Structure 1
Amino acid sequence: MSHPDFKFLPQLRKNLFVIVFGTDTRAGKLFDIVLLWAIVLSVLSVMLESVREIREAYADLFFISEWFFTILFTIEYSLRIFITAEPKKYAFSFFGIIDLLATLPTYLTLFVAGGSYLIVIRSIRLLRIFRILKLGRYLREASVLSNALAASRHKILVFLGAVFTLAMIMGTLMYMIEGGESGFTSIPRSIYWAIVTITTVGYGDIAPQTILGQAVASMLMLMGYAIIAVPTGIVTTEIAQAEKNRKKKESAAKRECIACGKIGHAKDAIFCKNCAAKL
């Protein structure tokens, strides 16, 4: 039998769950707004701290703010572990790992000392930027985008395979045309040049010198502009379809019976599932 002093815990966990994971209540919305601002301000603090002049002028303020946000996010992470029904599942979920990464770096710096480790400490503290990924749980559109990307993954993989095949062919061709004298010292290096050219980045570290090589490069550059438009069209089409499906579901969920006020009827329903009145 549980101790009488701890009988309130299930109800407390339930109330906290509604606030932390829900957005339907006033307290839940307030929690989300405060957390949103904390994430934005903490990431802004990380960015400003990377500017040497600002860091030197406000070193104490950055130190205080970092520990303030770290403690705040630690409390939030602990709350989520405490109130969720499956703590282990949450801890190893995408957002669980992100929440942990948002707090861990500051604590790690307590155990790493010495001047030679300053670079390591700085790189560890850069992981604080993962806090911005916590914004994803508040964006409804993020689910639309993720569904669109998931639906188009096969088309994108086929597209990437075709582009890589083209890069291999063109890279090998340029290796044969230009050779090592122009910087195309190997087929892998020539493939690197082809990928850079197709993506229209054009670093300029390798460039064809012969007329034939320049003609092939010009053709590949023009192809690059056409190729870039392909994945954009694929993802855009899937996003439009995902958004259309979402609106259909919302419309069906909001369908209301005039007689009894029951909502959530199927789109093709003729009669109310609660009172049997005609819809």
Structure 2
Amino acid sequence: MNSRPRTPEDPQGEDSFFDRRYWPASETGLRHRLFRLLFHHESRGERNFDLALIVAILASVLVVLLDSEPGIKVRWHLPLYVAEWTFTLLFAVEYAVRAWVLRRPFRYVVSFLGVVDLLAILPTFLSLLFPSTVSLTVVRILRLLRIFRILKLVKYSDEAGLLILALIRSRRKILIFVTTLLTIAVIFGALMYAVEGAEHGFDSIPTGMYWAVVTMATVGYGDISPGTPLGRFLTSALIIIGYSIIVVPTGIYSAELARSMRTQGKLKLRCTQCSLGEHDDDAWFCRKCGSALPTHP
């Protein structure tokens, strides 16, 4: 059975975009037209509005970046300040209209996209009360997350979900790996603190742990280095350990990613005889017991 999109007229559909947060407050009139303009991207006018919104977002970010440069700020502070408030007021109006045209505006306000929209306008208003928050206006770049929805990059969203799924599946192995690294860092940090001491910069065990992490990561800033033969021997051993284990998280994640990719094209159909799930999308029979699957697309 093919899936159908969920719409206000058909709330039982399967398109997650049209959940209850995005039901229009009216089926006709101005609120319905504004709903189509703000939340849909099918017609030419709706796509043009989305493109204009992207341009406004990029321009507002550029204004914030230019205003952070001292030389530019001295000469162009007033025009940049006016532009910043112009963009903020435009985004505030858009935020209010988005909430107004929805049947359940509170669900939009507390949703991820609603919070992102609020963060795009809130810092500028806070700067009136707390001047130190002016730099927070750069969070408006979070609004660029809408690009994935506007351009309907579904396949990229699916791939992002696949990467996240593989990361979640490998979280326990990665946690054990990180715990092992921290243990090694504590051991070698304590050894270097005892061997080298404050004379060579190892004035505490946390400092030795910092050096151990930098050494294992093969970064080697050089701000702290051993000065004794035993310390250099420990350093050489830690470098070898670092090169040996640096590929471990990559292997763990790659294995889980390959596993997720293998099961990506499988349906969550469960055999009624042996209860085996995740069959191939072209399977008619269970791969374990040979029984006919209950349904097939």
**Fold shared by both chains (TM-score > 0.5):** yes
CA–CA separation in structure 1 for the residues paired with 2:101 and 2:260: 32
Once the two structures are superposed, residues 5-56 of structure 1 have per-residue CA deviations (whole angstroms, 9 ceiling, x without a partner) of xxx9613444333332232332332222122222222112211211111111
Q: Quote how far apart the aligned CAs of 1:239 are.
A: 6.1
Amino acid paired to 2:159: V
Counterpart pick for 1:102 among 120, 129, 146:
120
Pick from 131, 148, 151 the counterpart of residue 140 of structure 2: 131
C-alpha deviation, 1:63, in angstroms:
1.1
Is the 2:162–2:261 Cα contact (8 Å) retained in structure 1?
no
Unaligned residue ranges in structure 1 (runs of 5+): 1-7, 113-120, 250-265, 271-278
Corresponding residue to 1:10 among 22, 26, 37:
26
C-alpha separation in 1, matches of 2:63 and 2:188: 46
Among 282, 287, 291, which residue is 1:268 paired with?
282
Unaligned runs of 5+ in 2: 1-23, 267-279, 285-296
Is the aligned partner of 1:151 residue 2:166? yes
Contact 1:200-1:221 at 8 Å conserved across structures: yes
Partner of 2:205: 187
Q: Is residue 217 of structure 1 aligned with residue 235 of structure 2?
A: yes
Structure 1 residues 39, 222: CA separation in 2 closer, same or farther (over 3 Å shift)? Answer: farther
Q: Aligned residues, how many? A: 238
Higher helix share: 1
**CA positional deviation for 1:229:** 4.1
Structure 1 counterpart SS, 2:220: coil
TM-score norm. by structure 2 comes to 0.67
Partner of 1:173: 191
Residue among 33, 49, 63 paired with 2:67: 49
User: How has the CA–CA distance of structure 1 residues 93 and 221 changed in structure 2, closer, same or farther, with 3 Å as cutoff?
Assistant: farther
Residues 198, 223 of structure 1: 8 Å contact kept: yes
CA distance in 1, matches of 2:200, 2:225: 7
Alignment deviations for residues 53-95 of structure 1 (CA, whole Å, 9 cap, x no partner): 1111211220121012101211222122223443333323333
1:38 pairs with 2:47: no
Which residue identity does 1:216 align to in structure 2?
Answer: L
* Shift in CA distance, 10/55, structure 1 to aligned 2, threshold 3 Å: same
Aligned-partner Cα distance in 2 for 1:169–1:61: 57
Is the contact between residue 144 and residue 243 of structure 1 (CA under 8 Å) also seen in structure 2?
no
- Asked whether the equivalents of residues 166 and 257 of structure 2 are also in contact (C-alpha less than 8 Å), the reply is no
1:258 corresponds in structure 2 to none
Instruction: Please state if 1:91 is matched with 2:115.
Output: no
Identity, % of aligned pairs? 42
Is 1:29 the equivalent of 2:43? Answer: no
